[in-house]
């Protein structure tokens, strides 16, 4: 079961929590797989933007991004969230469901392909909270935590 917007970080349960930042806001997350970590991060970000439970996964968009070895999975996570903000702004859509696949090729380039699902923004219905300007690299982390049953744990601070 996913845990949303609780105040206490919980690394045993798959999901995200909103974390405190003096000026901005962020999420910490726990996931059973790398792909799931990306899906949960996206859910966390759209939970900052709107009431995500009200967003119907009516329309599907297919997307692909990649990240160089020096940017790593953390860089790919930022690129993924940036791409979702871009789609949100230019298509005037909110997203609530994310199916992510990630592959690494021989040259260590990491490729992400995803189907994202959502609908057009209806301001009065979706309870818009706050625009997320961007995910930042500040305190950014995403790693497999061998001390925690090999789960993926991470943190993203957003500029809002």
Partner 1 sequence: MADYKIKRLSEYKWEIEKDTTKGMRVPGIIYADDILFEHARSENTIDQVVNVAGLPGIINASYAMPDIHFGYGFPIGGVAAFGIEDGVISPGGVGFDISCGVRLLRTNIEASSIKNKLEDIMYKLNGAIPKGVGSKGRIKLSKHEMHKLFTGGVPWAIKSGYGWEEDSVCIEENGCMEGANPDYVSREACERGNDQVGSLGSGNHFLELQKVSKIYDGRAADVMGLYEGQLTVMIHSGSRGLGHQVCGDYLKVMQQTPFWRNASIADRQLACAPLNSSEGKRYFGAMVCAVNYAMVNRHCLAHWVRLAFESIFGSSAKKLDMSLVYDVSHNIAKIETHRINGADCKVCVHRKGATRAFGPESAGIPEVYKDIGQPVIIPGDMGRYSFIMTGTQRAMQESFGSTCHGAGRILSRTQAKKQIDGSELQKQLLKDKGIVVLAQSLSGLAEEAPAAYKDVSKVVEVAHNAGLSKKVVMLEPLGVIKG
Query: From the list 4, 35, 82, 119, which residue makes contact with partner 1 (rule: CB under 8 A)?
Result: 82
Q: How many CA atoms within 13 Å lie on the side-chain side of 26?
A: 21
Contact between 111 and partner 1 by CB under 8 A: the answer reads no
> CB 12 → partner 1: shortest distance, Å?
22
Q: Report the nearest approach of partner 1 to the CB of residue 32 (Å).
A: 26
18 contributes a contact to partner 1 by CB under 8 A: yes
Binding residues for partner 1, how many (CB under 8 A)?
41
**Which runs of consecutive H residues, i.e. helices, occur in 50-128?**
72-91, 123-126
Angle between helices 34-49 and 72-91 (to 10 degrees): 40
Is residue 107 a contact residue for partner 1 (CB under 8 A)?
Answer: no
104 touches partner 1 by CB under 8 A: no
Q: What is the DSSP string of 96-144?
A: EEEEEEEEE-TT--EEEEEEEEEEE--HHHHT------EE--TT-EEEE
Interface mask toward partner 1 for 123-152; x: CB under 8 A: x---xxxxx-xx-xxxxx------------
């Amino acid at each position: 079961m996913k845990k949303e917007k609780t105040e206490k970080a919980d690394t045993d349960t798959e999901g995200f929590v909103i974390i405190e930042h003096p000026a901005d806001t962020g999420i910490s997350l726990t996931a059973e797989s790398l792909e799931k970590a990306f899906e949960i991060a996206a859910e966390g970000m759209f939970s900052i933007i709107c009431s995500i439970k009200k967003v119907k996964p009516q329309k599907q968009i297919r997307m692909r991004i990649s990240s160089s070895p020096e940017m790593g999975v953390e860089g790919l996570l930022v690129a993924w969230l940036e791409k979702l903000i871009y789609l949100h702004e230019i298509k005037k859509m909110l997203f609530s469901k994310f199916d992510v696949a990630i592959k690494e090729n021989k040259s260590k380039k990491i490729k992400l392909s995803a189907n994202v699902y959502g609908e057009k923004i209806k301001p009065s219905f979706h309870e818009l909270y706050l625009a997320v300007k961007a995910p930042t690299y500040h305190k950014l982390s995403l790693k497999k935590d061998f001390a925690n049953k090999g789960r993926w744990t991470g943190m993203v601070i957003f500029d809002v």
